[in-house]
Each structure stands twice: as structure tokens, then as C-alpha cells.
Structure 1
Amino acid sequence: MRERAWDTLGRAGVIAAATLLTCCVGVAPAASDGKPGGVDGYLQDDVAQVWNEAAEDTMRSDLGGGANDGAASLVQYQRGRQCNVGNATPITELTAPCPDADGYVDPPLCGDGVAHLEALWRRNRDAPTSISWEPWTFVAPAICPQDVLPEFTAEDFRRLPLTPSPVTPQPPNPHLLTGLGLVVHTTADPQDHPTTLLGFPLTVRATPTEYTWDFGDGTRTTTTHPGTPYPTGHDHHPGDPVYPHGVIGHPYPHLGTYTPTLTTTWTGQYLLAGTTDWRPIDGTATTTTALPTVTIHDATSHLVADNCHTNPHGPGC
């Protein structure tokens, strides 16, 4: 439900709806053992379900549903303080000022710097064109936002403006020789992105976990490490691997012009404001970095009938 509303309205629409209702929780049945479950006696699944249903109804009716959407425009949700503590039937100041003698229901404590969400109320009307609404009726008590927010999904994660991984090519000169090729490396630094989920602040941390190097000539290399610079002063001997351990590179075998790219796969976790536990995101995101175009040339050694492509360890190569 949240996903459908997001797809239709975008982030701005979701936040606008959240501003109106901010939290929607439902009166839930008891757990299977007969005891109240979840938050303040409410089962977590029912809390999330009613949140989504109320959010979708509110967005349809107040963000474009209009008179043509009769089912949606017959109901409205709103947050408001719960008063008249001594009365068995909950009332709210949305309808009338709270009696001084009764006061207000004490709000929950949600953590340092985290504001609670007031009790949820609902009202109905007989027809989409009617200006007369029934009094507000109680849906659920005040609650902490982190207890009712849906999870931050992989789809949400992929919408973040992740910064593509920086790439350092060696040599930096775009003109290379056949058989010698290009060495590349990047970083494994995570990046934090402050954002919101239905208007509630959180921080998403993206960490690179896989790197796919496409060298532009049909050759690809996938690693779980970012690579290292080609060591200064490294002496290459016949029979040695083309590149030392940990170095990522490609000895282009053919003349031509190529544009290498790096695709980084990121895993994510998020931290709700006022909490200390990072929650994993079920899914990954990717970014792509385009490297400067390289041109591969051939070099012929002198005094011998050979070239550096066929014999990269020959004289002058």
C-alpha cells in the first residue's frame, strides 16, 4: 500500500499525507495466548496494516481523489491529543477544547529527541459532496513513530542519490600500449545519507560490497575488494603474473579506443532517529562510474624483429 501510494504520488505526496496523519495504528486483537501483543497492546502487523490503509485513503481523498472518488472521500484521518482521562470513551480536542478537570493522556516516551505521535482519530461523512462531518472517533492511542514505520525497502534505497565510486586509473595518460594496459582502483568507503520515511528522519548507510570492472572491450572483472595501486618500483620478471596480488588491471590485446566503467554494488542499513540499532535493508543498489576513454597503441622494439604486443618482455618493452 505504501509502495502503491509512493509510485502514484512520489516522495512529496507521501510526506504530505504523512504530515496530515503522520501515524496510523489500528485496534488489534489479542495475541494467540490471549495477551495483548505488540506496542501498547497492539499487534505490530495490525499497526502497520492500518497505517498503510489510512495513509492510502488519506492520500486519495486529500491529494487528488476528490468528489469522483466516493469511497476514499467519505473518511478522513487526523492526529490529535486525547483528553478526558476519566471518561471511558476517548475524546479529543479536535472536536472541542479538552475539559480542564480531566486533562490529557500522558504521551509515551520515544527516546532522546524523538517526538511521539498523537492519538489517531477518524471521522466520516455521508456523501463526497457533504460539508458535514461526523465527530472524530478514536482509532488508536499515541505511539512512538519507530514502532509503526514500515521498513525502508530496497526500492527506497535505490532512489537515494548514491555517489558513484571514485576511480583512479594508472597510468593517468589515456594513451596506452598493447600488452601493458590499464590498472584501476577505487575506495571501500561507506556513505551516509540523511532522509525520511513517511516524514520521519533516519540515516541510511551504503557500503560497497562488490565491484564489476568493464574494460570496454568485452572483458569484465568482478571483485569484492576495491583494488590497490600498482606498486612503485615493482620489477616484473618473466613468468610472473601480469599484475601483483590485489592489483586490478587489464592488458588490452588489441588496438582501439575503449571506455572502461565500474559498477559498484552497495548494501544498506538504516538508523531511525532516536534509536541506536542499525536495521538491514533487504536488497542492494548499484552505481556506475565512467572512466576516461583510453586509446591503445602498438610499440615496435628496435634492432629486433619483434614488437611489445607479441613479446611484452622483449628489449625496449
Structure 2
Amino acid sequence: MSVMEPNGWAVVGVPANFVAEASSEVVSGILLGRTAEVRFTPVGYRWSHSDGAVVESASPGASWTDLGVAEFTPTGTSHVYAGRGEYTVTLEVVLSAEYRFGGSGWQPIAGVLAVAGDPVPVLVGEVDTVLTNGDCRANPSGPGC
């Protein structure tokens, strides 16, 4: 699963931050009357943006708050959209795998498995800033209002 800051929207030319939520998972079953387990562990993350950009990271990323930085600060998992419009982003988590049979130690499985999540919509708009003298709701005829 992928989380985005701000939630579902972005501003042209300003970084949007993407954070993956994935953890190790063990799948168990019975094989030849004994317990068989496969453990999948995230080892990489790939965000594919519908504007053609791909952001890859060994880290799932972190929120701006967790990083201790201001909102809209570039991160290792952020993306800047060049134009306004409706986009999608799809997170693909790259997993390594290990197995064990009948309580033995974990054994690595060669290769990795990439699992894609559902596309998430992102609405990108433009923002204009205006200098005002006070609150325009309280004084709508004030300078800049």
C-alpha cells in the first residue's frame, strides 16, 4: 500500500511525498504432512507515475513529520509533477523469499518477486500566491483581495 503527502493531490513544480506500507509476511501450509513456510521480505520499492517517471528506492520512505522536515521538502521517494492534470501512481514492492520445511532453518530462494498494488489517483493543480494586507474575508476590499 502506498501513502501520499499531501493526501491525493499535488502542486505543479513542488515535491509530493510517497511512502510505502509493506512488511515481511509468512505464508504457511502442509507439504507431505509437514509444515512448509515461505517468508516474503520487502527489499525494494518502485513508484510508477503515469507521467512516465519512475522512483525507485531500497527504503519505503517516511512522512515529512517522521523525517523532521517541512512539508514539500524533497525526499528519496518524492516526485515533482511538471503539469497539472489527473495522474495515477502505482507502487510495486520488490520481495525476496526464503523457505523452511518441517521447522528447519530459513533457506534463501534465488531471485525476487515484484508485486504491484492498485493505481492511486493524484490530482495535480497550480497555485498562485498573492500578498494581502490582512484577512480578505474580514476585509474583502483590502489590498490584494
Please, what TM-score do these two structures have when normalized by structure 1? 0.37
Alignment match, 2:115: 287
Give per-residue Cα distances to partners, 1:225-274, cap 9 Å, x unaligned: 111111277348xxxx9415xx411121111111101111111111112x
Indicate conservation of the 8 Å contact 2:20/2:91, yes or no.
no
- Per-residue deviation, 1:287: 0.8
Structure 2 residue corresponding to 1:231, chosen from 65, 68, 73: 65
Q: Which amino acid aligns with 1:282?
A: A
Indicate conservation of the 8 Å contact 1:259/1:294, yes or no.
yes
SS of the equivalent of 2:117 reads strand
Query: Which is higher, the Rg of structure 1 or of structure 2?
Result: 1
Indicate conservation of the 8 Å contact 1:210/1:222, yes or no.
yes
Q: Which runs of 5+ in 2 are unaligned?
A: 132-145
Structure 1 residue corresponding to 2:44, chosen from 210, 224, 231: 210
Matches within 5 A, 1:159-198: 166-172=1-7, 174-197=8-31
Indicate conservation of the 8 Å contact 2:47/2:55, yes or no.
yes
- Per-residue deviation, 1:204: 0.6
SS of the equivalent of 2:50 reads coil
- Per-residue deviation, 1:297: 0.9
Q: Which amino acid aligns with 2:104?
A: T
Matched, 1:253 2:82: yes
SS of the equivalent of 1:226 reads coil
Indicate conservation of the 8 Å contact 1:177/1:299, yes or no.
yes
Indicate conservation of the 8 Å contact 1:170/1:182, yes or no.
yes
Report which of the two has the higher share of strand: 2
- Per-residue deviation, 1:276: 2.8
Alpha-carbon separation, structure 2, partners of 1:281 and 1:290: 26
Identity of aligned residues (%): 24
Q: Which amino acid aligns with 2:116?
A: T
- Per-residue deviation, 1:291: 4.3
- Per-residue deviation, 1:195: 2.6
Alignment match, 1:264: 93
Alignment match, 1:243: 74
Alpha-carbon separation, structure 2, partners of 1:301 and 1:176: 16
Q: Which runs of 5+ in 1 are unaligned?
A: 1-165, 304-317
Indicate conservation of the 8 Å contact 2:98/2:108, yes or no.
yes
Alpha-carbon separation, structure 2, partners of 1:257 and 1:230: 23
Q: Provide the alpha-carbon RMSD of the alignment.
A: 2.4
Indicate conservation of the 8 Å contact 1:206/1:269, yes or no.
yes
Alpha-carbon separation, structure 1, partners of 2:120 and 2:22: 21
Q: Which amino acid aligns with 1:202?
A: A
Alpha-carbon separation, structure 1, partners of 2:113 and 2:20: 17
Alpha-carbon separation, structure 2, partners of 1:262 and 1:175: 16
Alpha-carbon separation, structure 1, partners of 2:70 and 2:124: 23
1:200–1:276 CA distance, 2 compared to 1 (3 A): closer
Report which of the two has the higher share of helix: 1
Give per-residue Cα distances to partners, 1:17-57, cap 9 Å, x unaligned: xxxxxxxxxxxxxxxxxxxxxxxxxxxxxxxxxxxxxxxxx
Alpha-carbon separation, structure 1, partners of 2:65 and 2:100: 39
Indicate conservation of the 8 Å contact 2:94/2:113, yes or no.
yes
Indicate conservation of the 8 Å contact 1:214/1:260, yes or no.
yes
Q: Which amino acid aligns with 1:194?
A: S
Alignment match, 1:300: 128
Matches within 5 A, 1:1-317: 166-172=1-7, 174-197=8-31, 200-231=34-65, 234-235=69-70, 242-244=73-75, 247-273=76-102, 275-302=103-130
Alpha-carbon separation, structure 2, partners of 1:188 and 1:213: 13
Q: Which amino acid aligns with 2:3?
A: T
